[in-house]
Protein backbone atom coordinates (compact mmCIF):
# COMPACT_ATOMS: atom_id res chain seq x y z
CA UNK A 1 0.00 0.00 0.00
CA UNK A 2 1.18 3.50 -0.84
CA UNK A 3 -0.27 6.25 1.35
CA UNK A 4 -0.17 9.85 0.11
CA UNK A 5 -0.90 12.74 2.51
CA UNK A 6 -2.23 16.00 1.17
CA UNK A 7 -4.58 18.85 1.99
CA UNK A 8 -7.84 19.94 0.43
CA UNK A 9 -8.21 23.19 -1.46
CA UNK A 10 -5.58 24.42 -3.85
CA UNK A 11 -3.13 21.62 -3.10
CA UNK A 12 -5.61 18.85 -3.94
CA UNK A 13 -6.92 20.73 -6.96
CA UNK A 14 -3.44 21.27 -8.37
CA UNK A 15 -2.21 17.78 -7.44
CA UNK A 16 -5.10 15.88 -9.06
CA UNK A 17 -3.71 16.31 -12.61
CA UNK A 18 -0.27 15.11 -11.45
CA UNK A 19 -1.83 12.04 -9.84
CA UNK A 20 -3.86 11.45 -12.97
CA UNK A 21 -0.69 11.48 -15.06
CA UNK A 22 0.46 8.60 -12.84
CA UNK A 23 -2.86 6.82 -13.44
CA UNK A 24 -4.20 7.61 -9.95
CA UNK A 25 -7.71 9.02 -9.55
CA UNK A 26 -9.41 9.65 -6.20
CA UNK A 27 -12.61 7.65 -5.78
CA UNK A 28 -14.28 10.67 -4.12
CA UNK A 29 -13.79 14.41 -4.24
CA UNK A 30 -12.31 15.33 -0.84
CA UNK A 31 -14.00 18.75 -1.07
CA UNK A 32 -17.41 17.05 -0.87
CA UNK A 33 -16.51 14.13 1.34
CA UNK A 34 -16.09 13.86 5.09
CA UNK A 35 -13.82 10.88 4.67
CA UNK A 36 -10.23 11.39 5.77
CA UNK A 37 -8.95 8.28 3.98
CA UNK A 38 -9.88 8.35 0.32
CA UNK A 39 -9.32 5.26 -1.80
CA UNK A 40 -8.26 5.60 -5.41
CA UNK A 41 -8.84 3.63 -8.61
CA UNK A 42 -5.52 1.99 -7.78
CA UNK A 43 -6.09 -0.73 -5.14
CA UNK A 44 -2.64 -0.09 -3.63
CA UNK A 45 -2.82 3.70 -3.38
CA UNK A 46 -4.83 5.73 -0.88
CA UNK A 47 -4.98 9.41 0.04
CA UNK A 48 -5.03 10.94 3.52
CA UNK A 49 -6.79 14.30 3.70
CA UNK A 50 -5.11 16.48 6.32
CA UNK A 51 -4.68 20.03 7.46
CA UNK A 52 -1.79 21.43 5.34
CA UNK A 53 0.47 21.97 8.36
CA UNK A 54 0.03 18.33 9.48
CA UNK A 55 1.21 16.76 6.20
CA UNK A 56 4.96 16.73 7.08
CA UNK A 57 4.21 15.19 10.48
CA UNK A 58 2.43 12.19 8.93
CA UNK A 59 5.29 11.69 6.46
CA UNK A 60 7.99 12.19 9.11
CA UNK A 61 6.52 9.36 11.21
CA UNK A 62 5.82 7.10 8.25
CA UNK A 63 2.02 7.20 8.68
CA UNK A 64 2.13 8.37 5.06
CA UNK A 65 4.81 7.34 2.57
CA UNK A 66 4.45 10.43 0.42
CA UNK A 67 3.01 13.88 0.92
CA UNK A 68 2.49 17.17 -0.81
CA UNK A 69 3.29 20.27 1.20
CA UNK A 70 4.21 23.90 0.69
CA UNK A 71 7.81 24.98 1.20
CA UNK A 72 6.49 27.34 3.89
CA UNK A 73 4.99 24.42 5.84
CA UNK A 74 8.15 22.33 5.40
CA UNK A 75 10.45 25.05 6.69
CA UNK A 76 8.24 25.67 9.71
CA UNK A 77 8.06 21.91 10.41
CA UNK A 78 11.81 21.36 10.14
CA UNK A 79 11.70 18.47 7.66
CA UNK A 80 13.12 15.69 9.87
CA UNK A 81 13.19 12.21 8.21
CA UNK A 82 11.77 13.71 5.04
CA UNK A 83 13.19 13.78 1.52
CA UNK A 84 12.04 16.52 -0.84
CA UNK A 85 12.87 14.99 -4.23
CA UNK A 86 10.54 16.97 -6.51
CA UNK A 87 9.44 20.60 -6.61
CA UNK A 88 5.93 20.20 -8.04
CA UNK A 89 5.79 23.92 -8.90
CA UNK A 90 2.15 24.11 -7.82
CA UNK A 91 0.48 26.46 -5.31
CA UNK A 92 3.04 29.11 -6.16
CA UNK A 93 3.15 32.29 -4.16
CA UNK A 94 5.64 34.52 -2.35
CA UNK A 95 6.50 34.95 1.32
CA UNK A 96 6.41 38.71 1.89
CA UNK A 97 6.68 41.32 4.60
CA UNK A 98 3.71 43.72 4.45
CA UNK A 99 2.85 46.89 6.33
CA UNK A 100 0.36 49.72 6.34
CA UNK A 101 0.86 52.17 3.51
CA UNK A 102 2.12 54.96 5.79
CA UNK A 103 4.51 52.77 7.82
CA UNK A 104 8.16 53.76 7.36
CA UNK A 105 9.55 50.26 6.82
CA UNK A 106 12.90 51.41 5.43
CA UNK A 107 13.36 53.54 8.54
CA UNK A 108 12.29 50.71 10.86
CA UNK A 109 14.65 48.08 9.46
CA UNK A 110 18.01 48.84 11.06
CA UNK A 111 20.36 46.45 12.84
CA UNK A 112 19.54 46.57 16.54
CA UNK A 113 16.08 48.10 16.00
CA UNK A 114 12.95 46.41 17.36
CA UNK A 115 10.02 45.48 15.19
CA UNK A 116 6.74 43.80 16.08
CA UNK A 117 6.03 41.06 13.55
CA UNK A 118 2.76 39.10 13.42
CA UNK A 119 2.82 35.83 11.50
CA UNK A 120 1.91 32.18 11.22
CA UNK A 121 5.45 31.57 9.90
CA UNK A 122 7.57 32.27 12.97
CA UNK A 123 10.66 30.36 11.90
CA UNK A 124 10.82 31.99 8.47
CA UNK A 125 10.20 35.43 10.00
CA UNK A 126 12.79 34.99 12.76
CA UNK A 127 15.46 33.78 10.33
CA UNK A 128 14.74 36.54 7.84
CA UNK A 129 15.01 39.37 10.35
CA UNK A 130 17.98 37.76 12.09
CA UNK A 131 19.68 37.93 8.68
CA UNK A 132 19.09 41.68 8.77
CA UNK A 133 20.63 41.87 12.24
CA UNK A 134 17.30 42.53 13.94
CA UNK A 135 15.65 41.08 17.02
CA UNK A 136 11.95 41.02 16.32
CA UNK A 137 9.06 40.60 18.71
CA UNK A 138 7.20 37.73 17.09
CA UNK A 139 3.46 37.45 17.56
CA UNK A 140 2.19 34.02 16.51
CA UNK A 141 -1.14 34.07 14.69
CA UNK A 142 -3.06 31.28 12.96
CA UNK A 143 -4.83 33.30 10.26
CA UNK A 144 -6.18 36.69 9.16
CA UNK A 145 -2.71 38.20 9.59
CA UNK A 146 -3.73 41.31 7.62
CA UNK A 147 -5.71 42.52 10.61
CA UNK A 148 -2.73 42.81 12.97
CA UNK A 149 -1.18 46.08 11.68
CA UNK A 150 -4.62 47.71 11.39
CA UNK A 151 -5.27 47.45 15.12
CA UNK A 152 -1.63 48.05 16.19
CA UNK A 153 -1.06 44.45 17.27
CA UNK A 154 2.08 44.52 15.10
CA UNK A 155 4.10 46.83 12.86
CA UNK A 156 4.31 44.36 10.00
CA UNK A 157 3.13 40.90 8.99
CA UNK A 158 4.95 38.05 7.28
CA UNK A 159 2.50 36.22 5.03
CA UNK A 160 1.99 34.44 1.73
CA UNK A 161 0.95 36.66 -1.14
CA UNK A 162 -0.20 35.63 -4.58
CA UNK A 163 -2.34 38.32 -6.23
CA UNK A 164 -1.96 40.82 -3.39
CA UNK A 165 -5.73 41.43 -3.40
CA UNK A 166 -6.17 40.62 0.31
CA UNK A 167 -3.37 42.99 1.30
CA UNK A 168 -4.83 45.72 -0.86
CA UNK A 169 -8.34 45.22 0.48
CA UNK A 170 -6.94 45.88 3.95
CA UNK A 171 -4.77 48.87 3.08
CA UNK A 172 -1.48 46.98 3.32
CA UNK A 173 1.42 46.98 0.89
CA UNK A 174 4.22 44.47 0.40
CA UNK A 175 7.51 45.98 1.60
CA UNK A 176 9.95 43.06 1.25
CA UNK A 177 10.14 39.73 -0.56
CA UNK A 178 11.46 36.89 1.61
CA UNK A 179 11.26 33.87 -0.72
CA UNK A 180 9.31 32.20 -3.49
CA UNK A 181 7.07 29.34 -2.35
CA UNK A 182 5.75 26.29 -4.16
CA UNK A 183 4.68 22.83 -3.08
CA UNK A 184 7.05 19.88 -2.82
CA UNK A 185 6.59 16.16 -3.11
CA UNK A 186 7.92 14.76 0.16
CA UNK A 187 8.88 11.19 1.01
CA UNK A 188 9.48 9.31 4.23
CA UNK A 189 13.15 8.27 4.17
CA UNK A 190 12.58 4.74 5.50
CA UNK A 191 9.64 4.15 3.14
CA UNK A 192 11.80 5.10 0.18
CA UNK A 193 14.24 2.34 1.12
CA UNK A 194 11.63 -0.31 1.98
CA UNK A 195 9.18 0.39 -0.83
CA UNK A 196 11.52 1.68 -3.49
CA UNK A 197 10.20 -0.61 -6.23
CA UNK A 198 6.69 0.79 -5.90
CA UNK A 199 7.59 4.39 -4.94
CA UNK A 200 10.36 5.14 -7.42
CA UNK A 201 8.19 4.86 -10.58
CA UNK A 202 5.69 7.22 -8.98
CA UNK A 203 8.41 9.74 -8.10
CA UNK A 204 9.76 9.50 -11.65
CA UNK A 205 6.32 10.10 -13.13
CA UNK A 206 5.78 13.19 -10.95
CA UNK A 207 9.19 14.56 -11.94
CA UNK A 208 8.57 13.89 -15.64
CA UNK A 209 5.11 15.46 -15.57
CA UNK A 210 6.40 18.60 -13.87
CA UNK A 211 9.30 18.85 -16.31
CA UNK A 212 7.03 18.48 -19.33
CA UNK A 213 4.63 21.13 -18.00
CA UNK A 214 7.62 23.38 -17.47
CA UNK A 215 8.66 22.84 -21.08
CA UNK A 216 5.15 23.98 -22.03
CA UNK A 217 4.30 20.56 -23.41
P1 LIG B 1 -5.86 27.04 6.25
O2 LIG B 1 -6.11 27.97 5.09
O3 LIG B 1 -6.84 25.92 6.37
O4 LIG B 1 -5.56 27.75 7.53
P5 LIG B 1 -3.33 26.67 5.05
O6 LIG B 1 -3.30 28.14 4.77
O7 LIG B 1 -2.12 26.05 5.66
O8 LIG B 1 -4.52 26.25 5.96
P9 LIG B 1 -4.01 26.38 2.32
O10 LIG B 1 -4.60 27.74 2.32
O11 LIG B 1 -4.73 25.26 1.64
O12 LIG B 1 -3.71 25.87 3.77
O13 LIG B 1 -2.56 26.49 1.73
C14 LIG B 1 -1.81 25.33 1.47
C15 LIG B 1 -0.49 25.75 0.87
O16 LIG B 1 -0.72 26.45 -0.35
C17 LIG B 1 0.32 26.70 1.75
O18 LIG B 1 1.12 25.98 2.65
C19 LIG B 1 1.13 27.45 0.72
O20 LIG B 1 2.30 26.72 0.37
C21 LIG B 1 0.20 27.51 -0.47
N22 LIG B 1 -0.54 28.79 -0.49
C23 LIG B 1 -1.10 29.43 0.55
N24 LIG B 1 -1.68 30.58 0.16
C25 LIG B 1 -1.49 30.65 -1.17
C26 LIG B 1 -1.90 31.58 -2.17
N27 LIG B 1 -2.56 32.67 -1.88
N28 LIG B 1 -1.58 31.28 -3.46
C29 LIG B 1 -0.91 30.17 -3.78
N30 LIG B 1 -0.49 29.27 -2.86
C31 LIG B 1 -0.78 29.49 -1.59
MG1 LIG C 1 -4.91 29.38 3.72
Cα(55)–Cα(4) distance, rounded to whole angstroms?
9
Give 217's pLDDT tier (boundaries 50, 70, 90).
Answer: low
pLDDT of residue 174: 98
Does residue 149 come out as left (phi exceeding 0), alpha (psi in the -120 to 50 range) or beta? alpha
Between 24 and 112, where is the model more confident? 24
The model's pLDDT over 20-76, given as tens digits with 9 standing for 90+, comes to 999 999 999 999 999 999 999 999 999 999 999 999 999 999 999 999 999 999 999
Ligand 2 center from residue 135 Cα (angstroms): 27
CATH of 2-91+182-216, one of 3.20.20.450, 3.40.630.10, 3.40.190.10, 3.40.50.2300: 3.40.190.10
**162 Cβ below 6 A of ligand 1:** yes
The model's pLDDT over 78-105, given as tens digits with 9 standing for 90+, comes to 999 999 999 999 999 999 999 999 999 9
Ligand 2 center from residue 34 Cα (angstroms): 19
pLDDT of residue 111: 86
- In SS3 terms, 70-127 reads as EHHHHHHHCCCCEEEEEECCCCCEEEEEEEECCCCHHHHCCCCCEEEEEECCHHHHHH
Among 73, 89, 90, 160, say which to mutate for ligand 1: greatest number of ligand atoms within 8 Å of CB: 160
Which CATH topology does 93-180 take? Answer: D-Maltodextrin-Binding Protein; domain 2 (3.40.190)
**53 Cβ below 6 A of ligand 1:** yes
For residue 72, the ligand closest to its alpha carbon is 1
pTM of the full structure: 0.95
| Residue ranges of the chain assigned to CATH 3.40.190.10 | 2-91+182-216, 93-180
For residue 163, the ligand closest to its alpha carbon is 1
Assess whether pLDDT exceeds 80 at residue 172. Answer: yes
Amino acid sequence: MITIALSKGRIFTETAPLLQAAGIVASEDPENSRKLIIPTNHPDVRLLILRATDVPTYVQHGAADLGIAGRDVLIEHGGENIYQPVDLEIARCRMMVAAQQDFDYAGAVRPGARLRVATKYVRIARDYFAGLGMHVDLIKLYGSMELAPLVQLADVIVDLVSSGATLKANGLVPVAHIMDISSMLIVNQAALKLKRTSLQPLLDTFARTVASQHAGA
